[in-house]
Structure 1
């Protein structure tokens, strides 16, 4: 019992100790303090999450994934833990596993806007475009002044052959992010034939191929 109380005490001190170490000695020292805290208490989920973060920051996503996986095991009902896991899986291009992690995050924490955005990105890459639109919409509802979901939805609507919906989203975006809206309008503008060259009629090429045959 005394050991358990001591472990909980160190767990509570971890953020303060690591914060002070980072301030005084930089990120490397802060990471070492978190590792020291975890070694004193292997059930310290905050230390595991912090160590995953430091590994990711240092360009070691696979190592970060191992630490974050342990964190999820200790905090299976934490939406933030599942989101962080999904983020790392997405960085490693493991889209299906990332999608499942983001989905779990949205189930546990429906107000976690970034989880909806991550889920939408995975669904889009998997070709599940209508589902991706719904997830982007949830993100936009939670973050109405963020341009990212609106721009992503406009691109998807254009891709799905719905230019009117795409233009409506651009018009909405123009109200609070005019530069983003202008760039998006330019990006989605239909490309015409090159100057000085007439566009070939689709039947011309077909007829030529038939005659050549």
Structure 2
């Protein structure tokens, strides 16, 4: 984080903290303060602010989703799961809430639940690239290569220069034995700055050379 960005964040934090003092029952003030605390790396303060926003409005799904994301980052999957489940109960059409549930189920290796959650997210927001790419990973893990390839291509249609998208497509293509195209996408992922697994890269290159 640059010094200028730090200074800008401090100014925003000062303004939001003052606003929360002046309007202690303002859900949005506490919510936005929590988001800026997250960006500033002040995680415990972010948790406190987002909890306050939820306390003021128990139906505030956005704060639940963001607080769940904080807990997910801390490895507190139970807390993250509970918050995101509550969020999609009060905001059933929240694509990000369903996508976050997908991440949690994926982390727990409950692949069918993860797939269902990602598909639900994409039902509400077909342009949510992260959901397409994470769905690709889960489908590949499950051995559903054809659907994984389709999901990866969908993600790349929306974000053509996604390093993760090209890597995930390369992996899915590899397992479907489409080695030449897989190699093309692996190289593109590298060009875009993705740290491709060296063992996978070596195996793919070998298979492509033999094809």
Residue number among 12, 26, 51 corresponding to 2:67 in the alignment: 51
* Pair 1:97 & 2:113 matched: yes
Bigger radius of gyration among the two: 1
Deviations 1:141-174 (A, max 9, x none): 1121122222222233232222233344356x28
Please name the residue that 1:142 is paired with: 158
Please name the residue that 2:174 is paired with: 158
Instruction: Map residues 76-87 of structure 1 onto 2, 5 A cutoff.
Output: 76-87=92-103
Please name the residue that 2:11 is paired with: none
What is the RMSD of the two structures over their aligned residues, measured on CA atoms? 3.0
Contact 2:145 2:173 in 1 (8 A): no
Question: What is the TM-score normalised by the length of structure 1?
Answer: 0.73
* Pair 1:32 & 2:48 matched: yes
The residue matched to 2:78 in structure 1 has which SS?
helix
* Pair 1:128 & 2:144 matched: yes
Q: 1:149 to 1:74 in 2, by over 3 A?
A: same
Report how many residues are paired: 182
The residue matched to 1:189 in structure 2 has which SS?
helix
Residue number among 101, 108, 113 corresponding to 2:124 in the alignment: 108
Q: 1:182 Cα deviation (Å)? A: 11
Question: What is the TM-score normalised by the length of structure 2?
Answer: 0.74
Which stretches in structure 1 are left out of the alignment for 5+ residues?
A: 1-8, 192-213
Q: 1:123 Cα deviation (Å)? A: 1.1
Q: 1:185 to 1:84 in 2, by over 3 A?
A: closer
